[in-house]
Structure 1
């Protein structure tokens, strides 16, 4: 990485993980992620995204299934 390039912000990391989560990541963004991104950011945001996804599924099933 060159010194004049900034790392990805947390918001950019969140958007990138969201795009990858649904399989719509562009080639340009994919390259940018590998050049500017920090692995720790992607791991943390990915874990949060998976936890939120699982919690939303549990919540949806709770509302649909009779008690």
Structure 2
């Protein structure tokens, strides 16, 4: 197997960075390729769900605080 095609396990911070980049809509091609080489999609899925829930809860708290 080539070094470029090795399956990697992303770290917690790599998953956080990828999820935030996806939320904003900007990510380098190099990082995107690294994400797609990950062993499993679950860390990214769970990170995305947690981020989305935190974002929605944050918006609800912000709106209730302002009004």
TM bin (shorter chain): 0.7 to 0.9
Structure 2 runs not aligned, ≥5 long: none
**CA distance in 1: counterparts of 2:16 and 2:48, whole angstroms:** 8
Total equivalences in the alignment: 63
Partner of 2:25: 23
- Give the TM-score, by structure 1 length: 0.84
Instruction: Find the partner of 1:49 among 41, 48, 51.
Output: 51
- Give the TM-score, by structure 2 length: 0.84
Structure 1 runs not aligned, ≥5 long: none
Q: Root-mean-square deviation (CA), in Å?
A: 1.4
